[in-house]
Chain A
């Protein structure tokens, strides 16, 4: 199909990014869910080779019984390995494990002008580094070899630590990061003043405690609507939602034990959260800013939320470590995610966040924001020109293209 058809194409995994990375007007999306075969698994050294359509839950179901687990796992079980590579995603373990690329040993990618090329950090390294975090624009990944980590326990002990505000949350996370496998937070960004961002820091540690109940991976589909696609989130209900969630956490036990899959995929089972946005939909802004600018950023975010009349339906923090490369969402600093309905007010709010993030040399996650434009991405990402040039040399005829690529102009 690729050889005989000149229309541009793009691979599609689960389609769970928020930014139309696997679709394009006038082209073809290649659905990858049937490319979900496990090609090899060395149970002694934890090396597994899979096709790109393998979902994270399928991967875990094979690896965990053998005592292995991928070190980097984003939050929904139906995300595919190919999708993880396309955005070089992160998970709750980013501070310790880095991004998904850290687990990729080797991959094969097919491009009609180059054939099927096997690449790694040692062989065809340029193509490897362009493909991981390359939004699927170097070709169709046909095979991925992943290095897994030893499973430390079949369950997760979760500790909830209440925090008074966003600043206190980061301080708590920094204190606890060295002692926990994963550290992240939930924050109520509708509070004000000294309580802005009050919420909970979650500390996760692997354990072998018994767990009751079973895990069922759910489907996250934009076609699931209730009441004709009504948006339930407005200024009042957004605040109410946050307060109710905070109350639920308040009355939850300070420590609990969760099943491995339940803890690994926190979004699973919370599909109603997305459904309640209705046809309006949600916007998410996920920023990564340096630690030394954090207090300033937190204050500005509060001011902007109030100034634009935004009710945030979600606020969440992670600590990040690593190097910044290309257009990947990675580096050292504090990661803050903000969700709100995709209404008119959110447009101005997000544009203001763009200016804020640029002013502090931060970056925004391209996989989460469906409206970031070329000029903003160019200013945020120092690696933009280099990435664009390398991609242009590899795929000058733009055989692989996407709405994301056209929007950010690489």
Chain B
């Protein structure tokens, strides 16, 4: 496998890098923090002796051009067969009615920049008539509430866009996966007491890589979030509005 991982320095992205490297993949790793990226690449190089390269990119930055990202990845890997976007950021200011600046930041980081890059890779894979795009959503998309409203909207945008992209690209043999993540042991959930179990990024990454054999589609990680979000989506409003979570 020759894969690009955007958001590779921490959390699920880092766990994916380790898991794919274990399987012998060559990796092009993208993140905002150069020091963290360097450490991840050093770690992979010691453990697996594969081929890895980094690119430091700020998805929110005005200079971000997804074509540059694709070109750099192809230059290193010669060809790309998979791209993963385990990118996500929440804001403590995304509470109540979020500030317009917070809305822009959340939508840019979590949706706009990711989907621009996904489109770029989609065109590349469509021409080659093969490839795999893996996008990441959140259970928050199923249950927006008075916290993380903008974040939830961004993740819902990912799911809707992914469905359309899949409809377009499947005839070309390109697969589109959406991984809907529940509570994952990252900085977002650190120190919080949550009602449902928190999954480790390593376990999530293992399950995602296992599911890459499938033709694509939306899956929940861990699986139990499927029935939970189904219930949440269908709760009547008079009941839903009383929930506090």
A-to-B contact residues, CB < 8 Å: 31, 34, 37-41, 51, 62
Q: Considering the chains assembled together, what is the distance between the CA atoms of A294 and B46 in angstroms?
A: 47
Q: Is the CB of B47 within 8 A of A38?
A: yes
Tell whether A37 pairs with B39 under 8 Å between CB atoms, given A31-B190, A62-B46, A62-B47: yes
Q: Considering the chains assembled together, what is the distance between the CA atoms of A41 and B46 in angstroms?
A: 6
Q: Does B43 contact A (CB under 8 A)?
A: yes
Q: Is the CB of A39 within 8 A of B10?
A: no
Q: Considering the chains assembled together, what is the distance between the CA atoms of A37 and B17 in angstroms?
A: 13
* Chain A contacts for B42, CB-based, 8 A: 37-40
Tell whether A39 pairs with B39 under 8 Å between CB atoms, given A34-B10, A62-B46, A62-B47: yes
Q: Does B40 contact A (CB under 8 A)?
A: yes
Query: How would residues 172 to 216 of chain B score, 1 for a CB under 8 Å from any chain A CB and 0 otherwise?
Result: 000000000000000000100000000000000000000000000
Contacting A at CB under 8 A, from B1-39, are: 10, 39
Q: Is the CB of B39 within 8 A of A51?
A: yes
Interface centre among B10, B40, B43, B47 (most CB of A within 10 A): B43
Beta-carbon nearest neighbor of A37 in chain B: B43
Q: Considering the chains assembled together, what is the distance between the CA atoms of A41 and B47 in angstroms?
A: 9
Q: Is the CB of B10 within 8 A of A40?
A: no
Q: Considering the chains assembled together, what is the distance between the CA atoms of A41 and B45 in angstroms?
A: 9
Q: Considering the chains assembled together, what is the distance between the CA atoms of A51 and B40 in angstroms?
A: 11
B40 interface neighbour in A31, A37, A41, A62, Cβ under 8 Å: A37
Minimum C-beta distance from A127 to chain B (A): 22
* Chain A contacts for B39, CB-based, 8 A: 37, 39, 51
Q: Considering the chains assembled together, what is the distance between the CA atoms of A51 and B190 in angstroms?
A: 20
B-to-A contact residues, CB < 8 Å: 10, 39-40, 42-43, 46-47, 190
Q: Is the CB of A39 within 8 A of B43?
A: yes
Beta-carbon nearest neighbor of B187 in chain A: A34
Q: Considering the chains assembled together, what is the distance between the CA atoms of A403 and B40 in angstroms?
A: 33
Q: Considering the chains assembled together, what is the distance between the CA atoms of A38 and B46 in angstroms?
A: 7
* Chain A contacts for B40, CB-based, 8 A: 37
* Chain A contacts for B190, CB-based, 8 A: 31
Q: Considering the chains assembled together, what is the distance between the CA atoms of A279 and B43 in angstroms?
A: 39
* Chain B contacts for A38, CB-based, 8 A: 42-43, 46-47
Q: Considering the chains assembled together, what is the distance between the CA atoms of A39 and B43 in angstroms?
A: 5
Query: Could you list 20 A-B pairs, sorted by A, with CB under 8 Å?
Result: A31-B190, A34-B10, A37-B39, A37-B40, A37-B42, A37-B43, A38-B42, A38-B43, A38-B46, A38-B47, A39-B39, A39-B42, A39-B43, A39-B46, A40-B42, A40-B46, A41-B46, A51-B39, A62-B46, A62-B47
Q: Considering the chains assembled together, what is the distance between the CA atoms of A166 and B166 in angstroms?
A: 73
Beta-carbon nearest neighbor of B14 in chain A: A34
Q: Considering the chains assembled together, what is the distance between the CA atoms of A270 and B42 in angstroms?
A: 35
Beta-carbon nearest neighbor of B43 in chain A: A37
Beta-carbon nearest neighbor of A66 in chain B: B46
Q: Considering the chains assembled together, what is the distance between the CA atoms of A89 and B163 in angstroms?
A: 55
Beta-carbon nearest neighbor of B191 in chain A: A31
Beyond A39-B39, A39-B43, A40-B46, 15 additional contacts (C-beta under 8 Å) are: A31-B190, A34-B10, A37-B39, A37-B42, A37-B43, A38-B42, A38-B43, A38-B46, A38-B47, A39-B42, A39-B46, A40-B42, A41-B46, A62-B46, A62-B47
Q: Considering the chains assembled together, what is the distance between the CA atoms of A38 and B40 in angstroms?
A: 8
Beta-carbon nearest neighbor of B40 in chain A: A37
Q: Considering the chains assembled together, what is the distance between the CA atoms of A39 and B39 in angstroms?
A: 6
* Chain B contacts for A39, CB-based, 8 A: 39, 42-43, 46
* Chain A contacts for B46, CB-based, 8 A: 38-41, 62
Q: Considering the chains assembled together, what is the distance between the CA atoms of A62 and B40 in angstroms?
A: 15
* Chain B contacts for A34, CB-based, 8 A: 10
Q: Considering the chains assembled together, what is the distance between the CA atoms of A37 and B40 in angstroms?
A: 7
* Chain B contacts for A51, CB-based, 8 A: 39
* Chain B contacts for A41, CB-based, 8 A: 46
Interface centre among B40, B47, B190 (most CB of A within 10 A): B47
Beta-carbon nearest neighbor of A49 in chain B: B42
Minimum C-beta distance from A110 to chain B (A): 12
Q: Considering the chains assembled together, what is the distance between the CA atoms of A42 and B47 in angstroms?
A: 12
Interface centre among B39, B42, B46, B47 (most CB of A within 10 A): B46
Minimum C-beta distance from B240 to chain A (A): 34
Sorted nearest first, the 5 A-B pairs with minimum C-beta distance are A37-B43, A38-B46, A37-B39, A41-B46, A39-B42
